Structure 1
Amino acid sequence: MSTITINHLTFAYPGQDDIFTDQSITLDTSWHLGLTGRNGRGKSTLLNLLRGQLTGTGSINVPVPVTYFPQPVRDTSRDAWMVIDDITTSETWMVERELTLLGVPSDTLYRPFDSLSGGEQTKLLLAVLFADNTSFPLIDEPTNHLDHASREQVATYLNGKRQGYIVVAHDRDFLNAVTDHTLAIEKQGITLMQGNFATYTQTKDAQDQREQAEQSQLRKDIGRLQATARAKRDWSGNREADKHGNRHVKGSTQGDGTIADKGFITARAARTMKKAKHLEHRMDDEIAAKEKLLQNVEYIEPLHMLYTPDHHDVLITVRNLSLSYGDQPLFAPVSFTVKRGEQVAVVGPNGAGKTSLIRALQGNFAGHVDGEITVVQSAQASHVRQLFPDNRGLLGDFAEQRGVDYQELLRNLKQLGVERSVFAVPIEQMSAGQQKKVELAASLATPTGLYVWDEPLNYLDVFNQDQLIDVINSVQPTMLLTEHDQHFIDAVATKVITLQPA
């Protein structure tokens, strides 16, 4: 057991604001540590600082060697064992041992790396990572290409490791299963606590609610103080006017009808004005103190979905559908409907044919189609795809090409957490997460009666996921989607279609 120490760390990319400012923290290398925070807060940056790929001011002491997932693969056309030989010094038998624990057949090593599914590639690289049990693994987004069963399998694998690690993931169920400590990058700094992601969110929600309640009470106090201060100022001003004979105020005369002593009025007015000023300063101090408490409260803006319900009751009908390449069907025949206002989830393991089914609905499946697919002609679907290499150029031109309102596109991008500075960057130069948000924001900004989304959560943080859950549950659009995140499926789906092996 050893400790990683970070002292007074400050880091910023050239020409940008600080990502970290004077942060100090100590981490135990035996922890199963979950690293969480909104996209763009610096999770991958922190991992790169720990592995020495970036340098800031202050000091970082990592007393053990670190390894990183995903490892770069130079030539994906080579057999998997050759790829392994390039990225690790561990013996092949050690990697095979880890593959067995992950449920991957050892003959996978002798297939071309690029012929493996995304899930198989992920498991292979994780096996390489943990074959070296002398290092401290940094695991960045292992769940992106894993189906639900594989996520549970990898979670069981990681949870059984005596070896410590840091893992970044946006699947809350996965984080809850594989972590015992949480490091959260918040708006104003880094928070470390014992417990998994659920423990962190419960604690943070309670803290946010308490601070917001205090702020609400403060606003009431401020209103009362402001009213008192105004009354005192008005009284003082009126007394000053009496002194100079500018006005006559009822009740300001002595019993014999003469004006009350002007010196007394002036003195009292001065004392009242001083008290009013003191109240103002006290009020300002209270405001400043309380606003500091709210600096870590996350304000999640709602998304806007331009759903226009179709007049048809049933928009999609699928009867006895099977898809195949050659003589090999992808799944057993399936039948279902998508009715107006339903959110239908199509689930199944990687390779089951979920994306192929969506392509068949679009009329562009390259294999053989058996059965019947009917999509009403009026239902021009708005799509979110897994891959979108055709999204290129500046956002204004992209909006025109997709036929969406430019301001509506920008609005949703902003709500999804994309910085305004990114709006001027060509889409192909954005990060993978930002590109995914462009695809998603364009779909939300498309007036349509049918949404077809293929794994919309890839690269999205839990705050973005909650935004999607909220807008879907609020709008209740007609939707067909695929997704591996069980929490999301449970939250939004009104009907689930499971693809079974043929």
Structure 2
Amino acid sequence: MITLKNVTLRRSAKVLLDKVSVTINPGEKVGLVGRNGAGKSTLFALFTGVLHEDSGDFSRPAQWQLAQVEQNMPETEESATDFVLGGDTRLASLRELLVQAENSGDGMAIAHAYTDLADAGEHDAVPRAQALILGLGFKTSELESPVNSFSGGWRMRLQLARALMCPSDLLLLDEPTNHLDLDALVWLEAWLKRYQGTLIVISHDREFLDAVTDVTLHIENQGITRYGGNYSAFETLRSQQLELQQSAFSKQQDKIAHLQKFIDRFKAKASKAKQAQSRVKALERMEKIAPVLADADFTFEFKEPANLPNPMLAISDGVFGYKSEDEGDKVIVRGVNRSVLAGQRIGILGANGQGKSTLVKTIAGDIPLLAGTITQGKGLSIGYFAQQELDVLRPADNPLEHMTRLAREVGPAAREQELRNFLGTFNFSGDMVRQAVGTMSGGEKARLVLAMMVWQRPNLLLMDEPTNHLDLATREALSMALNEFEGTVMLVSHDRHLLRAVCDEFWLVGRGVVAPFDGDLDDYQKYLLDESKRLREQAKLDRTAALVQPVVVAAPRQQDAQHRQQVGARLKPLRKELEQADKRMAQLTQEKAALEARLAGKLAPAALAEDGKLLKAANDELARLEERWLALSGEIESIETTA
């Protein structure tokens, strides 16, 4: 287990954790929460050995294998598959031992190396790596693409896949959802639920924390408090504790006042001096209960729009995509005929790569419409928060310079003091208005972008993943501001809490079209799982076709019958097992559906427990079979291509 006993941690002269004691047991899935700057990342640095305790005792089992997501941007021409495969450090070290054994010609060492490699999962390592890559949203055609060919966000997904590939006893994840779409997020949740080791995760996504954690550690006021349960349970328990603390504080204050009144009244009287002195000592011995200090919550609001055109805009026969002089236009979505009305709250859903951001970018005017028309209502004013918006800020300029330029070039005009006051409402006060943006955190930059949007007084908000760098308090403030906004909102987000709180209708971008989605986010999650299954089955068909092709077309005419029989003999049991796996996976899917239907009804406690165990067993077996299916497919493909 991981233990901290009276541990103090500092960053420079600042004490972040003061004499904290906490235990994390093997196999627990822990959510680490607290305001930005409270010390979450510093605690991670202690867990990894980058930092050491300033005082107290910290320990974690020496034999535990640690895995974490590297924060540096990978720069390599390795393929995506090879890069993720490199995350399996045990496999990499065993391969090196095999090379050394082969170079030395030591037959016994070579035999041991092959045995160890087999135990480490060498036979299905590539399919396992590729399953992680595909689960995080990559396409099959990208598995062999160089890492350097991907954008920054996609490279960070590969870093995440590489960490998941590492066989670990302790997995540390710091904001793993920041670069993920909702479909990849759903897949990651399912993967982490199956993870057998100890998980500690920092996240500002409350639904993600609810899904994957069973313990919450809350860092506040240089201390750590452990709560049993996920984030929602933590919120409930903490509010109850604060209520009890406030009640106890009030009672103690009444008692202190009563004692002090007696002391003040009788300390001068000889007959009462002894009793007064005993009350002074009682007051000194009393362990003071601290008052509940409410956090200074961050709030803001969008200004009332100057006007509300209706409709805001209308799209007729719209074709969305990207222009390319070399390869021709790349069409992603076509035939769009939609209107956006005043006051609508639209959540834009869709699996990764289907065109959500392309749709929003085109409406915002960042990229041109390939065909059709977008007619804007008279007086339309768009406020656009893009995923890369933080990169557009000028690193050398400070918030005041950004606002001064915005007021001068876009309006409305304002004096410096007015701009300073406005920035203060977004927690940029004092010297912070003169701090270079390049030295600020992601959350501070995001607040500045929000401030600049609010200043422009838009009537249509286009928001593409606005929460990536926001902490829980700021996300809540954004949710409240969007709910009170009188204009129209179009929102792309993987934060399901924000989508649930803000949106009352959804558009689904998928398979080249944009259509209304008839359902809620739970229905959409089922849609994603069905879509993932459809793509998996399509990939299976494509792979089977590729496996058959070399035998029918590519095999040399001169190949003798004996060789074909040998290859066939090797393939027959593998194909039979593959077929059996397919049948069992279909059977398990039906069993799961039946169990989930029963669990949704009213059951006796014993039956509920039994069905719960059966459902877990079905899920575990299905996961094992899916991995085995990938391994078998890879083995068959290897035999066919080398035959």
Regarding TM over 0.5, the answer is yes
**SS of structure 2 residue aligned to 1:289:** coil
- Native 8 Å contact 2:3 2:24 kept in 1: yes
- Residue 378 in 1 paired to residue 397 in 2? no
Output the amino acid matched with 2:504. T
What residue number does 1:483 align with?
Answer: 493
d(CA) in 1 for partners of 2:65, 2:267: 74
* Unaligned residue ranges in structure 1 (runs of 5+): 237-266
Query: What's the counterpart of residue 500 of structure 1?
Result: 510
Q: Which residue of 1 aligns with 2:535?
A: none
Q: Quick check: 2:246–2:291 contact (8 Å CA) kept in 1?
A: no
Indicate whether 1:457 and 2:467 are aligned. Answer: yes
In structure 2, C-alpha distance between the alignment counterparts of 1:36 and 1:46, rounded to whole Å: 11
Name 1:400's counterpart in structure 2: 404
8 Å Cα contact 1:346-1:498 kept in structure 2: yes
Specify which of 87, 90, 96 is matched with residue 127 of structure 2: 96
TM-score (norm 1): 0.78
Q: Which residue identity is paired with 2:355?
A: G
Which residue of the other structure, out of 236, 241, 244, is the alignment partner of 1:202?
236
1:432 maps to which residue? 442
- Helix, strand or coil for the counterpart of 1:330? strand
Contact 1:95/1:131 (<8 A) preserved: no
**C-alpha contact (below 8 Å) 1:99/1:123 kept by paired residues:** no
Deviations 1:6-29 (A, max 9, x none): 2322222224x3111111222123
- Higher deviation after alignment, 84-93 or 443-452: 84-93
For 1:40, what is the secondary structure of its paired residue?
A: coil
* SS of residue paired to 2:490: strand
1:289 matched residue in structure 2: 288
Give the Cα separation in 2 of the matches to 1:12 and 1:335: 58
**Correspondence for 1:159 among 190, 193, 198:** 193
Q: Does 1:348 align with 2:357?
A: no
Are 2:178 and 1:180 equivalent residues in the alignment? no
Report what 2:5 is aligned to.
7
Residues 1:408 and 1:454: Cα distance change in structure 2 (over 3 Å): farther
Q: For 1:18, which of 10, 15, 29 is the aligned residue?
A: 15
- Name the counterpart of 2:65: 65
For 1:56-86, what per-residue CA distance to the aligned partner results, in whole angstroms no more than 9, with x for missing partners? Answer: 3023222223221145344155422453466
The Cα offsets for residues 171-194 of structure 1, whole Å up to 9 and x where unpaired, read as 211111111221221234111122
Alignment deviations for residues 207-255 of structure 1 (CA, whole Å, 9 cap, x no partner): 2344445667788x599979x97xx99xx9xxxxxxxxxxxxxxxxxxx
- In the other structure, the counterpart of 2:28 is 31
Q: What SS does structure 2 have at the residue aligned with 1:314?
A: coil
Is the 1:118–1:145 contact (alpha carbons within 8 Å) kept by the matching residues of 2?
no
The answer to which structure has the higher helix fraction is 2
> 2:285, 2:304 → 1: CA distance?
45
**Counterpart residue identity of residue 184, structure 1:** H
**Partner residue of 2:53?**
56
Residues in 2 aligned to 1:435 and 1:125: alpha-carbon distance in whole angstroms: 24
The 1:481/1:12 distance shift into structure 2, 3 A limit, reads same
Q: Using a 3 Å threshold, how does the CA distance of structure 1 residues 110 and 208 change in structure 2: closer, same or farther?
A: same
Matches within 5 A, 1:415-426: 422-426=432-436
Checking the alignment, whether the CA contact within 8 Å between 2:29 and 2:213 is kept in structure 1 is yes
User: Equivalents in 1 of 2:421, 2:458: separation in Å?
Assistant: 14
Provide the rounded CA distance (Å) in 2 between the counterparts of 1:270 and 1:452: 75
Aligned pair count? 457
Show the counterpart of 2:614.
none
Aligned: 1:80 with 2:90: no
Equivalence for 1:193 = 227
Please say if 1:149 is aligned against 2:147: no
Match of 1:467 in 2: 477
Segment drifting more, 153-162 vs 423-432: 423-432
Q: Residue in 2 aligned with 1:447?
A: 457
C-alpha contact 2:81 2:126 (8 A) present in aligned 1: no
Deviation at 1:482, TM superposition (A): 1.5
**C-alpha spacing 1:268/1:206, structure 2 compared with 1 (3 Å):** closer
Q: Is the 8 A contact 2:320 2:333 kept in 1?
A: yes
Q: Deviations over 1:81-105 (max 9, x none)?
A: 4534665533574363154267447
User: What is the identity, as a one-letter code, of the residue corresponding to 2:9?
Assistant: F
Q: Distance in 1 between matches of 2:341 and 2:255?
A: 52
CA distance in 2, matches of 1:433, 1:486: 19
Change (3 A) 1:98 1:86: closer
3-state SS of paired residue (2:333): coil
Q: Relative to structure 1, is the Cα distance of residues 333 and 211 closer, same or farther in structure 2, using a 3 angstrom cutoff? A: farther
Aligned-pair RMSD on alpha carbons? 3.8
Give the Cα separation in 1 of the matches to 2:247 and 2:487. Answer: 34
1:182-261 correspondence runs (5 A) = 182-212=216-246
- Give the drift of 1:421: 6.2
- 1:417-446 Cα deviation digits (max 9, x unpaired): x78665442101212232222212322343
**Is contact 2:84–2:161 with CA below 8 Å preserved after alignment?**
no
Q: What TM-score do the two structures reach when normalised by structure 2?
A: 0.62
Determine the C-alpha separation between the residues in 2 that align with 1:379 and 1:223: 62
* Kept in 1: contact 2:308–2:380 (CA 8 A): no
**Which whole-Å CA distance do the structure 1 matches of 2:398 and 2:287 have between them?**
41
Unaligned runs of 5+ in 2: 93-121, 323-327, 408-413, 513-643
For residues 23 and 160 of structure 1, the distance between their equivalents in structure 2, rounded to whole angstroms, comes to: 31
> Match of 1:259?
none
Q: Which moved more, 1:307-316 or 1:45-54?
A: 307-316
The residue type equivalent to 1:97 in the other structure is R
Residues 292-331 of structure 1 mapped to structure 2, 5 A cutoff: 292-295=290-293, 297-325=294-322, 326=328, 328-331=330-333
> Cα distance, 1:156 vs. partner?
0.5
| Distance in 1 (alpha carbons) for counterparts of 2:204 and 2:251 | 35
State whether structure 2 residue 133 is matched by structure 1 residue 129: no
**C-alpha displacement of 1:201:** 1.4
Contact 2:310 2:341 in 1 (8 A): yes
Which moves more between the two structures, 132-141 or 484-493? 132-141
The change in CA–CA distance for 1:223 and 1:135 in structure 2 (over 3 A counts) is closer
Query: Are the structure 2 counterparts of residues 127 and 383 from structure 1 closer, same or farther at C-alpha, using a change threshold of 3 Å?
Result: closer
Matched residue type, 1:23:
V
CA shift in 2, pair 1:215/1:128, >3 Å: same
Structure-1 separation of matches of 2:267 and 2:46? 63
Distance 1:30 1:299, change over 3 A: same
